[in-house]
Each structure stands twice: as C-alpha cells, then as structure tokens.
Structure 1
Amino acid sequence: MTNDVEKRFDRPGAFREAVTYGVVVIAIAAGAFAIYAFVDQASVVGASTVPAILLVGGIVAFVRTYRMWKAQDSGWVAWQGAGWFLLLLMLVCLAIPGAAMMSS
C-alpha cells in the first residue's frame, strides 16, 4: 500500500522535461501573440490563438501527468505543476481576445 500523501521526488530529469515543455509552449504562445500584435490587432481569432495554445499545452501536460501517475512514476508531480502553470497563464491571457473584441 502506498502513502499518497508523502511524495518523494526522485527523478530530477522529469522536472527538467516538464520545465522545458512549459517554456516551449509559452514561447509558441508568445510567437502567436507577436503575430497578433504586429499583423492585425483587431482580429479576435488571432487573439484567441494565444490562450488556445496555452489551454492545449496544459491539457497535454495533464495527460502526461496521468500517464506517469498510472505507471507509478514519481515524476508526475512536476508535470502536474507544469499543467497548472499553463492553465493559470491561459486564464491571464484570456484578456487578449477581450481587448481585441473591445477594439473592433
């Protein structure tokens, strides 16, 4: 029987993978934001790509979390943190389509 409260993190490589994944997703979202900002600031569809990228990235991180947890791999904790961070950033970036709607 495992104690689910005590979580020993013995895979530092999983933390590095999760952080790298989060940084790559954020960089892709930043690229989408740059395209929106410099090409067409009135495009709601273009503005919506930024939170959509972060949402998909967060969901993929949670799928990875679940698979690692099912396999009883201790690295799932880092992936769960990456998923929550990406979803939190997605909520902040929901203001971008709102601003595009207000400007049109």
Structure 2
Amino acid sequence: MTDDVGKRWHGPGGSGGVRRAALFTVSVIVSALVVMVGCIMWAAWGPHSGQCRDAAFAVCAEPERTILLVVPSALLLLGGLFAFVQTYRVWRKGGTWPIWQGAGWALLVSMVIYMSMSLSVLSQ
C-alpha cells in the first residue's frame, strides 16, 4: 500500500472533501458575481445613473467603479488564500489535500482573469 495522495481522491470518510471544496469554490465565485452584478445595477439605476448616459461603460461614477474593481477581486483573493490554508490543514491531518489546492488555484486564476477584465474600468 502506498501513501501517494495522488492515486486516491477520497479520504477515509468518503468524497466529502471534494464536495466541500467544490461547494466552497462555487460559493466564492457566485458571491463575487453577485457583488459585480449588484454594482452594475447600482450604477444603472442608482443616484449617479444620469452621468453614465454618454459613457462607453455603464459604470462611470467613482464609488461604483472602485467597488466594481476592488470587492469581487478581494473576495476571490480571500477565498483562494483560505483554500490554501485549508490545503495545509488537510495535509497535516493526512487527508486528500490536492482537492483544496486545486480550489485555491482556481480562485486565484479567477481573480486574475476578473482583474484583467475590470482594468478597462480604470482606463475610462
């Protein structure tokens, strides 16, 4: 018998680790998307909505632009960091840690993609 964690994707208690990591990853991504959509809706129908009629992008007022750039990125970053902390905790217990490492990398890559797309907000 081997201790190679890469050959098994379930721990002693079944596949709960995969479900927890997937649920955590999806919930962090969905919460970032909810903040993004909420900010766009706030910009479209909020107090600064009249300023953005001639703008190229729907979010042209300053508080909405900052929130649109910072908050979803911060949620994805914190989620990725928490997933890496969870990776270390599961590794210390002898569990299947690559699942959480994959969740952390998926969240950090999502953060980089979101930030690269949202940098167009700053250029306007």
TM-score by length of 1: 0.85
User: Alignment partner for residue 73 of structure 1, among 95, 103, 107?
Assistant: 95
Q: How many pairs are equivalent?
A: 101
In the alignment, the residues of structure 2 paired with residue 78 and residue 6 of structure 1 have an alpha-carbon distance, to the nearest angstrom, of 10
Larger radius of gyration: 2
**Range moving further from structure 2, 82-91 or 34-43:** 34-43
User: Alignment partner for residue 105 of structure 2, among 49, 69, 84?
Assistant: 84
Shift of 1:7: 4.1
**Structure with greater contact order relative to length (CA < 8 Å, sep ≥ 6):** 1
Q: Give 1:81's aligned amino acid.
A: G
In the alignment, the residues of structure 2 paired with residue 82 and residue 54 of structure 1 have an alpha-carbon distance, to the nearest angstrom, of 11
For structure 2, the residue ranges without an aligned partner over 5 or more in a row are 44-58
Shift of 1:95: 2.6
1:10 is aligned to 10
Q: Give 1:73's aligned amino acid.
A: G
Per-residue CA deviations over 1:21-60 (Å, capped at 9, x if unaligned) read 0010011000111122122323332121111110000000
For structure 1, the residue ranges without an aligned partner over 5 or more in a row are none
Q: Give 1:22's aligned amino acid.
A: T
TM-score by length of 2: 0.72
**Conserved? CA contact 1:65–1:77, under 8 Å:** yes
C-alpha root-mean-square deviation of aligned residues, in Å? 1.8
2:53 is aligned to none
In the alignment, the residues of structure 2 paired with residue 16 and residue 87 of structure 1 have an alpha-carbon distance, to the nearest angstrom, of 19
1:27 and 2:30 aligned? yes
1:52 is aligned to 74
**Conserved? CA contact 1:44–1:97, under 8 Å:** no
